[in-house]
Structure 1
């Protein structure tokens, strides 16, 4: 591992396989082509939900052994690294004009304690329902007509009765998987304001209970038998292999799906906004965060400047399945699926921040919410206790 005073740019990230590995490798290659004079050390520290990256970074900072930069979520997640970050407003944001080219919400999320400490690299839209076209065709279900959670549950029942497909691929081995789907259901059934009230600590108990009951109905009746032991990567394989009909997830799924040459967008699979959330862009952001007491300040500035460039944003997001945060990208430089999502990023009116990926609530509240889902809502199900736990988690 690197150490303070090192001559090499050391960047830690959590993308160790699949779409993430392809994306970070493309970004590294592009950077090294532009900055061949900078010695680099890009270190992968895998684990779902950035858990391993958080652990490594916090340990390094505690031990006064900072890296140059690391990939993580901005927003409320930055509380994890309070007093350990580098203000790059003048040298990066102002010098490169990023305040004029980045989406305003991303600018706000990269600002912490009145300092700009990060540069966004891409955004995932969270409220997607991906589906196997053959399964929906066989069941006679038109995905475009699914306008609500009851519509979705009716469709899952039809698929269950009329086909051999598992209706809904869903991982449950980590609490954030159920938490993110709960957020979509709550927003669908009760509106964006109901979700925003919840993350602000003023949730409507009845609305939350209704959302959990819908999630329980899906989990009890329409998912695979091994759901409790798998994550979203394994769940996605059920869709790719033709064993499952649909799943909810962020648009990183596109990065996974495109790896299979026989599972093509618009042919074997397609997508719609999660039923009841049309016009909503459920907001997720990945960023690179600059570390204080930086061992390579000049090279770190060059890296952070590059991260925000058009070249970097296209190089990373195309294989990742995410979309650039710059507002001046030519959508023709993106694949069809990403171009559609990029247009939604620019044109949607509602951008609720994801609770499961560090943007919406403090790290402590996020972890507590995940614990509630894992402990009270992974079977057996206790919706009443789960509501109380979630409200307590965001209210402290």
Structure 2
């Protein structure tokens, strides 16, 4: 069972699988609301053999319900363990048992910038070394120039949540980030407040329509030259590569978000197997292909993402994605995104989005930090 997003990428994956295994038939069910459909079938005790889902803590309800299949043998009978880094492997396991096969990765902590505007302002984005220093630079741009420092869409609370988790990672480091997501949020409350305060500072110099600005509209306006910077996951670059007047390296470029150099904050999709299936050999064969270099090359080239395997030939990928793959391979850690469900449970994610909705109404870091701690720290 597959979702509606990335149809061309899934077609490429299935085509490659059919070429490798012409004797194996696979029936896929496309559904625009995949998660709801899977849950409905699980409740009816008729889950699909395999489906695509965010891994990590997003899978905790399935794990608690004993729905997930043990796919450890797929990992151990192949070379997957050798070519997956720790972050994707962590997202695929519960208590040492593999429950998923990650298929693609999107980087969260990108800071895109308009090359010509940065040069005009005498800016080298790579020298901005922390989220707080970035706030100071945005204030300087706002006070001393006629440029917009950074477009900041807030129409949907997830973009604010993503900004906050990126600032938390960049300002306070990976260890604190992990503590916040691993039931120790109360112990790191000051870091949570500080990150919220820095996000508030970004909002103060954002455009007046920020609360009504969608991600798509903001991204299009960045392409049109309306701001120096734009923070977003690497999926935003799809619009850049499609624009004939917005060339990589000439008109736009990117750096890791300030303070996050060497860290590769991840969103990803994975293929999940049900605990009960009438076709265990077929499922294992398909999962092995999903975890193969050939399968991941085919899928990610179409999806505009990078493979979690480190040995995939990306020479046919865009230069931007090739650089993303290099950064992934050289990263010292691969934090699991909060906003995209890998680093927190689904119920926590709902509460965090609610907290961010409160934040853009009050801009009160102290009060909203209490909501964040309550959502994340089970001992609070």
Distance in 1 of aligned mates of 2:304 and 2:156: 22
Match of 1:281 in 2: 264
- Tell me the TM-score normalized by structure 1: 0.85
Match of 1:53 in 2: 34
Match of 1:179 in 2: 161
Aligned with 1:254: secondary structure?
helix
- State the shift of 1:138 in Å: 3.3
Contact 1:136/1:159 (8 A) holds in 2:
no
- State the shift of 1:263 in Å: 2.2
Deviations 1:238-257 (A, max 9, x none): 21222233221222223342
Match of 2:91 in 1: 109
Distance in 1 of aligned mates of 2:18 and 2:208: 44
- State the shift of 1:298 in Å: 3.8
Aligned ranges for residues 1-396 of structure 1 at < 5 Å? Answer: 11-15=1-5, 20-37=6-23, 38-45=25-32, 52-82=33-63, 83-90=66-73, 92-112=74-94, 114-161=96-143, 165-203=147-185, 204-223=188-207, 225=209, 227-294=210-277, 296-374=279-357, 376-396=358-378
Contact 1:67/1:295 (8 A) holds in 2:
no
Deviations 1:188-207 (A, max 9, x none): 22222222222223342222
| Structure 2: runs of 5+ lacking an equivalent | none
Contact 2:294/2:312 (8 A) holds in 1:
no
Deviations 1:50-93 (A, max 9, x none): xx432222122112232232222111111131211222222x22
Moved over 4 A (4+): 161-165
Distance in 1 of aligned mates of 2:191 and 2:90: 29
Contact 2:337/2:343 (8 A) holds in 1:
yes
Distance in 2 of aligned mates of 1:164 and 1:303: 55
Aligned with 1:248: secondary structure?
strand
Contact 1:170/1:224 (8 A) holds in 2:
no
Match of 1:48 in 2: none
The change in CA–CA distance for 1:259 and 1:294 in structure 2 (over 3 A counts) is: farther
- State the shift of 1:128 in Å: 1.0
Match of 1:8 in 2: none
- State the shift of 1:121 in Å: 0.7
Deviations 1:189-239 (A, max 9, x none): 2222222222223342222212111101212321460x3344433322221
Q: What is the alpha-carbon root mean square deviation over aligned residues?
A: 2.4
Aligned with 1:379: secondary structure?
helix
Deviations 1:104-145 (A, max 9, x none): 332232123553221111222221101122332333322122
Deviations 1:9-44 (A, max 9, x none): xx22251xxxx4443343344334444552432414
The change in CA–CA distance for 1:253 and 1:200 in structure 2 (over 3 A counts) is: same
The change in CA–CA distance for 1:235 and 1:24 in structure 2 (over 3 A counts) is: farther
| Structure 1: runs of 5+ lacking an equivalent | 1-10, 46-51
The change in CA–CA distance for 1:206 and 1:104 in structure 2 (over 3 A counts) is: closer
Aligned with 2:9: secondary structure?
helix
Moved more, 365-374 or 254-263: 254-263
Distance in 2 of aligned mates of 1:29 and 1:239: 36
Deviations 1:147-167 (A, max 9, x none): 122332233234445666543
